[in-house]
Structure 1
Amino acid sequence: MPAPGVALEKLGFLTIGTFDGDDPAPGHESLLQEIVLAEELGFDSVWLRHRHLQHGVSSPVTLLAAASQRTSRIEFGTAVTPLGWENPLRYAEDLSTLDVLSGGRMNPGLSVGPPGHFDDVKQSLYPDTADAEDFTYTRVERLLRLLRGEPASTFSGVQGIEVFSDHVQPHAAGLADRVWYGAASDRSAVWAGQQGLNLLTSSVVRVGEDEEPDFAGIQSRTIRAYREALPDAGSGRVSQGLVVIPTDTATDAQKAKYAEYVEGRTARTSSPQGPGRLLFAKDILGTSEEVAQALYAHAAFREVTEVVFALPFGFAHEDYVQILTDMATTLGPALGWSRAA
């Protein structure tokens, strides 16, 4: 249980990679530059979040494939891929290809459930099968079987001059062991543990009808429930993903921008939001010393030794450069983290 004096083992960051819809190339290039910078700073991982039909990364696998050719060490992840948007067989091919290109650096993070705004997109996404699609955990189980190399076809062999395999190609050995599940509830965390998956926690939890809106308490309980459900005690990895903004080298203008951003998001942290009763964590803003103190006071942070800090949305490239640099050079060491070689 990390506390002052117990080192943070892995430091990663998460972003949605925003861009201008009228000129998307510069935003994508800036994100690639940020990933390269993160590797130079010693970050252990970078994670991309899907943003379908928005001005954010819609195809993390494609962008990370590009990043794999500019980097050599930093690990990649998705946090998370909503599998309701994906065909598990085709997605298994994409993930395996990326893992091969990157030299085994891919960590797929997954979630289930109907796609967002499903009634609005189902005619484009599943025009003939929308009512028959299964958006439950079985979609993850299908993907896992395919990543493990179980048969995807009843045919294999030679047809004419072409050779066919009965399982996903390329096969990326070990990829299935690096799958993570994004859980915001005890139920999902327990299921992930039972499957032997790794656990991604984020800045969102679900609050029960008769439960106090204590974000840190709920999230720490969820982590413990996950660990208790693991087939082999201590086998699963857990990562926390709060929004953290260190300001050590920020300009006065940046500090003002960051403070306005945090203030605009704070109201939703006091009570559950919407029919799903979602509770959002407070963004943590301040010097690295102040951020470290806030994290050590956070019950769920004390349950983990890995983090994937989420970058705030909609900031400029130079803001992300400052935040990433402060995370790696000041905040990480304040948490006992040592940069990767």
Structure 2
Amino acid sequence: MERIGFLSFGHWGPGQGSRTRTAGEALVQGIELAVAAEELGVDGAFFRVHHFARQQASPFPLLAAIAARTRRIEIGTGVIDMRYENPLYMAEEAAATDLISGGRLQLGISRGSPEPARQGASAFGYVPRDGETDADMARRHTELFRKAITGAGVADPDPRYAGGATGLLPVQPQSPGLAERIWWGAGTRKTAVWAAELGMNLMSSTLLTEDTGVPFHELQAEQIQLFRDTWQAAGHSHQPRISVSRSVLPIVDDEDRRYFAGSALRDGRDQVGIIDGLTARFGKSYVGEPDRLAEELAADTAVQAADTLLLTVPNQLGVDFNAKLLGHIAQFVAPSLGWSR
């Protein structure tokens, strides 16, 4: 395990016990937690993107603010729903954020997940073409976005204003190297193979939209191996990154016990359910004493196969609690996986 990072879903709301009651608090606390995580030696600060929900929705202002407050930690998303995105405007935002950070942006993108809005992307002006599915549209947006961040021309020059430029104009600014730091959030083995063929890194979460009857971590490890095999066969010139996400909640003190003792009994096994009409397998939460968590994660074949572990955090418990949680994982759990500060 080369890197560990946190993954915040950015929830906010006035619920009982919430320490993140407004959107403003969620944004500011996201910045503060990233600063605290860097001080702890954690390698990454990642944020989930959801629309029409009380969660983070527009990640680039948040990531740019974190970039301005930090020097080392990677900043990223896990993941941006490409159905909603204007690919060229997103290319400009991503490049600008990456330049502010000095090349630390790790951008997770995907087709998206179930959401509160029915056909929400259409409210943003994006509707699949005739014969397209939502997934097809997301991939089309992804293709243009990836083309734009490489500096390829995408717009005809106007001879009145383009200063004699010939050929198609690229978007500006450009950030060299960003194209190799795009990750695809793959929910199946098939999409992991597709991502490897195109040269995108693999971001695999605690949910796969398929179920073969084997434990989640074994199915995910199979997905990772298929990705690696396909990457090697494709002959890409650079090495891929692979991340998995886990909910890891060490119980160290009475405050931890008050919040998570019940979860240790309720969430300690895989779950199978239906999402968008497909059978899906959900990974379990890891809850308990740090030494036991270290043993369980060492037996997680997908964690062992990945180079990056993203730790989902209960962000509504506030910055101090989540910094404490990350500190306990960094001190007592992650070193057993081969990670060092």
Same fold (TM over 0.5): yes
Contact 1:111 1:182 (C-alpha < 8 Å) held by counterparts:
yes
Between the aligned residues of both structures, percent identity stands at 28
Partner of 2:17: none
| Contact 1:16–1:48, Cα closer than 8 Å, also in 2 | yes
Point out the more displaced range, 30-39 or 269-278.
269-278
Structure 2 residues without counterparts, runs of 5 or longer? 15-20
Q: Which residue of 2 aligns with 1:105?
A: 104
Post-superposition offset of 1:53: 1.9
Distance between the aligned counterparts of 2:261 and 2:83, measured in 1?
A: 35
Contact 1:114 1:135 in 2 (8 A): no
C-alpha contact (below 8 Å) 2:268/2:287 kept by paired residues: no
Q: Deviations over 1:179-204 (max 9, x none)?
A: 11111201100001101111111111
Q: 1:160 to 1:122 in 2, by over 3 A?
A: closer
Q: Distance in 2 between matches of 1:304 and 1:91?
A: 28
2:210 and 2:122 map into 1 onto residues whose CA distance is 33
Whole-Å separation in 2 of the counterparts to 1:142 and 1:37: 36
Instruction: Give, as a single letter, the amino acid of the residue that structure 2 aligns with 1:79.
Output: G
1:1-341, aligned counterparts within 5 Å? 8-20=1-13, 23-112=22-111, 116-117=115-116, 119=118, 121-122=120-121, 124-126=123-125, 130-132=127-129, 134-155=136-157, 159=161, 166-208=169-211, 211-230=212-231, 231-232=234-235, 235-248=239-252, 251-261=253-263, 265=267, 269-274=270-275, 275-312=277-314, 314-339=316-341
Alpha carbons of 1:123 and 1:224: their partners in 2 closer, same or farther (altered >3 Å)? closer
- SS at 2:256's partner residue? helix
Contact 2:82 2:109 in 1 (8 A): yes
AA in 1 matched with 2:8: T
For structure 1, which segment, 316-325 or 27-36, has the greater mean C-alpha deviation from structure 2 after superposition? Answer: 316-325
Q: Given residue 127 of structure 2, which amino acid in structure 1 is its aligned partner?
A: A
Deviates more, 1:95-104 or 1:135-144: 135-144
Paired AA for residue 241 in structure 2: R
Provide the rounded CA distance (Å) in 2 between the counterparts of 1:321 and 1:114.
28
Q: Secondary structure at the match of 1:338?
A: coil
- Contact map agreement 1:216 1:299 (CA 8 A) in 2: yes
Pairwise CA distance, 1:335? 2.4
CA distance in structure 2 between the aligned counterparts of 1:77 and 1:145, rounded to whole angstroms: 20
Counterpart of 1:3 in structure 2 is: none
Q: What SS does the aligned partner of 2:301 have?
A: coil
Q: Is the 8 A contact 2:85 2:141 kept in 1?
A: no
Query: Deviations along 1:92-132, whole A, 9 cap, x unmatched?
Result: 11100100111111011110258735535355222xx5243
Which segment is superposed worse, 105-114 or 233-242?
Answer: 233-242
| Distance in 2, Cα, partners of 1:317 & 1:107 | 22
Indicate the SS of the match to 1:219: helix
The answer to which of 199-208 and 93-102 deviates more is 199-208
CA shift in 2, pair 1:313/1:33, >3 Å: closer
Distance of 2:162 and 2:308 partners within structure 1: 51
Determine helix, strand or coil for the equivalent of 2:76. strand
Summarize the Cα distance change of 1:157–1:17 in structure 2 as closer, same or farther, 3 Å threshold.
Answer: farther
Kindly provide the CA deviation profile for residues 150-191 of structure 1, in whole angstroms up to 9, marking residues without a partner as x.
112111666299999811111000100111111120110000
Partner of 2:18: none
Bigger shift: residues 131-140 or 145-154: 131-140
Aligned partners of 2:48, 2:302: CA distance in 1, in Å?
A: 22
Residues 1:266 and 1:247: Cα distance change in structure 2 (over 3 Å): closer
The answer to which of 115-124 and 56-65 deviates more is 115-124
Q: Do the aligned partners of 1:206 and 1:279 also contact (CA within 8 Å) in 2?
A: yes
Deviation at 1:333, TM superposition (A): 2.2
Aligned partners of 2:104, 2:63: CA distance in 1, in Å? 10
Q: Work out the CA distance in 2 between the residues paired with 1:15 and 1:113.
A: 16
Q: Which amino acid aligns with 2:45?
A: V
- Tell me by how many angstroms 1:52 deviates: 1.5
CA distance in 1 between counterparts of 2:264 and 2:53 reads 22
- Paired residue total: 325
Aligned-pair CA distance for 1:89: 0.7
Which runs of no fewer than 5 residues in structure 1 stay unpaired?
1-7
Question: Normalized against structure 2, the TM-score is what?
Answer: 0.87
Deviation at 1:332? 2.2
Structure-1-length-normalised TM-score: 0.87
In the alignment, the residues of structure 1 paired with residue 186 and residue 13 of structure 2 have an alpha-carbon distance, to the nearest angstrom, of 31
